[in-house]
Structure 1
């Protein structure tokens, strides 16, 4: 695997240098479009609607259209926004793992310790396991600010990006608004049916049959010589982050003390406001 990002995972004053890898990959057979008559490759070009010219990628800006007006955003405009300038994955809170809604989980990434000593990495991993909590983190990747859940899978820290709250649609279905009566007998029979299918989940037991058949079809066509010459028809066409934590125990103590002081300060402010009122 190739690291797509290098930075530092931070919680309190503890700094954990890490490398980030995509944890998943697409297994679909890559297909493209061709001309039915002669098999020639069909390609897409970026054409300006005003002058009909093909525009090179370096001359393309982004824009937002509200239906009546278009706002053009230059490359300098976009560079001024929060982006990958920060190479930190900042832990903002630790929450009970069951509070992370599975519906909000998005892309998954593996984190590898990027230092000569993985002690801080292992410490965080064991802490998450022991406390049964998930770390909610914030970081920037590919010019976007991301929210993510940091958890443990097979002794490896896994970063899984989360959808923002306003990206999850509310499920409102009229048919479910009316009360529905389910009898005890119906529930008993339904539970018995579930039990008859009960098993331990093993993802290795399941395969993508469509992709398997597609690969078999392609191989059969190749063996029959039912193919065209690709060149003839298509044409030819890392910054280091954060250092080692010098004194891990001292960083932990300082972080705990700072967090405690912030909580006590918040409590005193609330008490002062209550007294004043």
Structure 2
């Protein structure tokens, strides 16, 4: 990171993480996994991800851009975070905030890092910076959180929509008594914000529902349904028909009356799967940066 002639070596880490339960699509009738194929419209072949390039289409012509083409752009080669200006912190509209990142000192001496942090605190300023990440120029706010410097990428001005609602153009009369009562209502709800007091109730109930289904034996054997390793070849799961056949036979055995079941040959018990294997988890969004190390995160939370 550079401002003026001062350079502060830093490493960039994602400051947030997603704890939502990962769900994927299956055939409701037999539990078979639904998979998507990257199929070329010209040759009809299923294309591996490594062979896929990006392209621009203007409606008449298509320009193919390879990874080498994109890597050759000057902005992608510059790994500096350049400070453009220092602005009063209250001038940044929160609607412009996008993603958050922690900055860790990347040198033997942390003096320059600490000096910049203290300067931002003493002046109550936020640094506006520009840098390149994932083939895109980013605008960001550099500020202090606890004893850590953090970047919050900003949306560009033309990415924020203007709100214009005809209904708000009407002249509405509000009496002094109404404003007084409204203020009293706000005061009755007033409190200090404590983020740890709030939880995602939907995710909690979703986990409870999943655990209840597992306890009631309503789960499908992951290995039998999706294959031992979930391997793919040409977009298809290996031995898919065999896996489905085994699943159907297992369900039929489970539905037989107790007398009939006793006569049938016993099958080895399978452990009920509580969750799908890593390869069968839902599509994971490509991260912009590495997860923050525990020491940086803990340190930041302490100062929050």
Equivalent of 2:94 in 94, 102, 114: 102
| Cα distance in 1, alignment partners of residues 108 and 87 from structure 2 | 30
1:58 Cα deviation (Å)? Answer: 2.5
Q: Which residue number in structure 2 is paired with residue 116 of structure 1? A: 108
| Cα distance in 2, alignment partners of residues 70 and 177 from structure 1 | 45
Q: Which residue number in structure 1 is paired with residue 50 of structure 2? A: 58
Q: 1:119 to 1:178 in 2, by over 3 A?
A: same
Q: Which residue number in structure 2 is paired with residue 151 of structure 1? A: 143
1:224-263 mapped onto 2 (5 Å cutoff): 224-235=216-227, 236=229, 237=231
- Asked whether the 8 Å contact 2:15–2:100 carries over to 1, the reply is yes
Q: Which residue number in structure 2 is paired with residue 242 of structure 1? A: none
| Cα distance in 1, alignment partners of residues 182 and 155 from structure 2 | 34
| Cα distance in 2, alignment partners of residues 224 and 154 from structure 1 | 46
Equivalent of 2:157 in 149, 165, 173: 165
2:155 paired with 1:179: no
Q: 1:82 to 1:173 in 2, by over 3 A?
A: farther
2:116 paired with 1:129: no
- Asked whether the 8 Å contact 1:135–1:150 carries over to 2, the reply is yes
- Asked whether the 8 Å contact 1:10–1:16 carries over to 2, the reply is yes
2:26 paired with 1:34: yes
- Asked whether the 8 Å contact 2:71–2:77 carries over to 1, the reply is no
3-state secondary structure, aligned to 1:111: strand
Q: Which residue number in structure 2 is paired with residue 192 of structure 1? A: 184
1:178 Cα deviation (Å)? Answer: 3.1
3-state secondary structure, aligned to 1:149: strand
| Cα distance in 2, alignment partners of residues 69 and 175 from structure 1 | 44
Q: Give the structure-1-normalised TM-score.
A: 0.78
Structure 2: segments with no counterpart, 5+ residues: 232-304
Larger mean Cα displacement after TM superposition, 66-75 or 154-163: 66-75
Q: Give the structure-2-normalised TM-score.
A: 0.71
Structure 1 runs of 4+ aligned residues shifted over 4 Å read none
1:145 Cα deviation (Å)? Answer: 1.0
3-state secondary structure, aligned to 2:81: strand
1:93 Cα deviation (Å)? Answer: 0.5
Equivalent of 2:82 in 90, 96, 119: 90
1:69 Cα deviation (Å)? Answer: 4.5
Q: How many residue pairs were aligned? A: 229
| Cα distance in 2, alignment partners of residues 93 and 44 from structure 1 | 46
Larger mean Cα displacement after TM superposition, 192-201 or 224-233: 224-233
| Cα distance in 2, alignment partners of residues 68 and 171 from structure 1 | 34
Structure 1: segments with no counterpart, 5+ residues: 1-8, 238-277
- Asked whether the 8 Å contact 1:83–1:141 carries over to 2, the reply is no
**Aligned-residue CA RMSD in angstroms?**
1.6
- Asked whether the 8 Å contact 2:129–2:140 carries over to 1, the reply is yes
